[in-house]
Amino acid sequence: MLYFLMAAGLTLIFSMMGVLNFAHASFYMLGAFLGYQISQWAGFFPALFLAPLIAGAIGALVERFGLRTVHKYGHVAELLFTFGLAYVIEEVIQMIWGKLQVDYRKPEILDFSAFTILGTNYPAFRVFMLVFSVLIFIGLMLMLTRTRAGLIIQASLTHPNMVGMLGHNVPRVFMLVFGLGTALAAVAGALNGANQVTQANMAALLGPILFVIVVVGGLGSLLGGFVASLLIAFVVIFATGSDASLSKIVPWLTGVQFQPASPSLLNDVWTVTLAQIAPLLPYLMLVLVLIFRPTGLFGTRDT
């Protein structure tokens, strides 16, 4: 669900403005660190509200003074700009908060186990995260499809000139949408930072997975992002729990017994378990999807 919240913001930015935002995971990280800092001063819930607001404002400024300038040089320049931005944000966070993890905790009122499934306690904070994400998703959908503002946003995507003629400030719409997308990422960061560790390599860990989700789900499709994030989460969780390997599967299927010499490349391939390659699977999916179905599962547009 966290993946989805992130992917929604990225999809919004990408399908809206055609900018593949490399720095999206960095805004997620920024949200987590801002959330930590504000929660030190004002408590968790104000932080959950203020951190995305600040991160969104920074995002809007970045669009206004950065992206809009490089826009005229084309998509590659925009991609490179967000790539550089991701680098700078990571360094700035290291400069202020250091490389080690910070002590960002979940609030005490939510720090209990909600219910027990199969002997494991399910923490209440996770339930809270889930409900919060779903509410945001519903709100976003309603805003985009049912309100006047959503109408203008969608129209600005397809017919920017026409919308401009009607008297709306299209560049400002773009700026606000970029700010909204980064704020969504920051909400995810402020939530998940409290749940897991908050440290300066968060973005680097999450960033590539996000692209997998957006590309596999299909560009410009919120539903696709939703399905892809669930799919990838399931595949990874299933693979992590499995100890199947070629050395087990092949004899079971064919009855052939085979034992390569122990310290060799063949032996590595032969005995590696599914759990060990679980982190690789999303990228494998990315490559395969891009080769065989470049529009993604639900996408309508080409990459």
**Contacting positions for other proteins (CB under 8 A):** 20, 66, 69-70, 73, 75-77, 79-81, 83-85, 87-88, 91-92, 94-98, 204, 208, 211-212, 215, 263-265, 267-269, 272, 276-277, 279-280, 283-284, 286-287, 290-291, 294, 302-303
Closer by beta carbon to other proteins, 139 or else 279: 279
**CA dihedral over 51, 52, 57, 62, signed as positive or negative:** positive
Provide the minimum distance between the beta carbon of 4 and other proteins in the complex, in angstroms, as a whole number. 19
Q: What does the DSSP 8-state code read for residue 71?
A: G
Backbone angles phi, psi at 120, to 5 degrees: -105, 140
Closer by beta carbon to other proteins, 93 or else 129: 93
The C-alpha angle 154, 156, 157, rounded to 5 degrees, equals: 65
Provide the minimum distance between the beta carbon of 168 and other proteins in the complex, in angstroms, as a whole number. 27
Provide the minimum distance between the beta carbon of 285 and other proteins in the complex, in angstroms, as a whole number. 8
Backbone angles phi, psi at 92, to 5 degrees: -65, -40
Residues 6+ apart with CB under 8 A from 76: none
158/161 Cα distance (integer angstroms): 9
Backbone angles phi, psi at 168, to 5 degrees: -95, 150
Nearest to 302 by CA among 1, 278, 60, 294: 294
Provide the minimum distance between the beta carbon of 144 and other proteins in the complex, in angstroms, as a whole number. 23
Closer by beta carbon to other proteins, 244 or else 287: 287
Closer by beta carbon to other proteins, 149 or else 284: 284
Provide the minimum distance between the beta carbon of 87 and other proteins in the complex, in angstroms, as a whole number. 4
Closer by beta carbon to other proteins, 264 or else 300: 264
Closer by beta carbon to other proteins, 51 or else 216: 216
Provide the minimum distance between the beta carbon of 244 and other proteins in the complex, in angstroms, as a whole number. 14
Closer by beta carbon to other proteins, 45 or else 238: 238
User: If you compute the radius of gyration of the chain from its CA atoms, what whole number of angstroms results?
Assistant: 22
Provide the minimum distance between the beta carbon of 70 and other proteins in the complex, in angstroms, as a whole number. 6
Residues 6+ apart with CB under 8 A from 46: 38, 39
Residues 6+ apart with CB under 8 A from 235: 281, 282, 285
85/24 Cα distance (integer angstroms): 10
